[in-house]
Structure 1
Amino acid sequence: MQVQSAIETKLANAFEVKHLAVENESHMHSVPPNSETHFKVTLVSDGFDGVMKVKRHQMIYKVLAEELAGPVHALALHLYTPEEWAKTGQAAPDSPNCMGGSKGDAAMAAKLKQGVNS
């Protein structure tokens, strides 16, 4: 949990946090057990007020530049003002199932096999 802790600490220090959830979603992907490569971040801050979504993402990328240059392969960002967060019912969207890497290869192989045997 080293990478996850670093992400949580850096974001908490960089933003006036109303809500922060950092979820390690690596287990949902084709990576070795106990990996810390895929994360979902939900962050609510007054600092996003009046800031376009792309700029919000850029703010996060700047804070987490070291992690994104190294161990973090994917980062799903759900960034809200407190008012936007209230409108969501205080829930970030679920992440989609992974179809990349060997999972995607296996699914494609199964489809191809069905096509050959049809």
Structure 2
Amino acid sequence: MSLETRMREKLMVALHPTRLDVVNESHLHEGHRNSPDSGESHFRVLIVSDAFSGKSRIERHRLVNELLGDELKGGVHALAIKACAPGETIN
């Protein structure tokens, strides 16, 4: 199973998002120093979930990072997170 698929499944099961975009941006970092050539090293996540209601941006990011801890330790070099509660502006 790909890292992208594992991340998507973990976030879906734990946070029941109304929107989830997991974008593999690894191709944008090919050949960069310290960038592994795995093809699954850099990701951008946009997630909208009731689980983020009343939480600060830091709390939201910590929650996502905890859920994806194994992936962050085992191959993901960079993870950009946009975590919103329903009704918040996504931009």
Given residue 29 of structure 1, which amino acid in structure 2 is its aligned partner? H
Residue 12 of structure 1 corresponds to 12
Q: What is the TM-score normalised by the length of structure 1?
A: 0.68
Stretches of structure 2 lacking an aligned partner (at least 5 in a row): 32-36
Letter in 2 for 1:9: E
Where does structure 1 differ by over 6 angstroms across 4 or more consecutive aligned residues? none
Using the alignment, how far apart are the partners of 1:59 and 1:49 within structure 2? 12
Stretches of structure 1 lacking an aligned partner (at least 5 in a row): 93-118
Question: Secondary structure at 1:36's aligned position in 2?
Answer: coil
Between the aligned residues of both structures, percent identity stands at 38
Equivalence for 1:105: none
CA distance in 1: counterparts of 2:16 and 2:40, whole angstroms: 25
Q: Which residue is equivalent to 1:43?
A: 47
Q: In the alignment, what sits opposite 1:79?
A: 83
- Structure of higher CA gyration radius: 1
TM-score of the pair, normalised by structure 2: 0.88
Aligned length: 86
Is 1:58 paired with 2:85?
no
- Indicate the structure whose relative CO is greater, using CA pairs within 8 Å and at least 6 residues apart: 2
Q: Using the alignment, how far apart are the partners of 2:53 and 2:87 within structure 1?
A: 9
Secondary structure of the residue aligned to 1:50 is: coil
The one-letter amino acid of 2:22's match is V
How large is the Cα RMSD of the aligned pairs? 1.5
Aligned position for 2:24 = 24
CA shift at 1:42, angstroms? 0.3
Residue 82 (structure 1) shift? 1.0
Q: SS of 1:79's equivalent?
A: strand
Give 1:16 shift: 2.1
How far, CA to CA, are the matches of 1:54 and 1:30 in structure 2?
Answer: 29
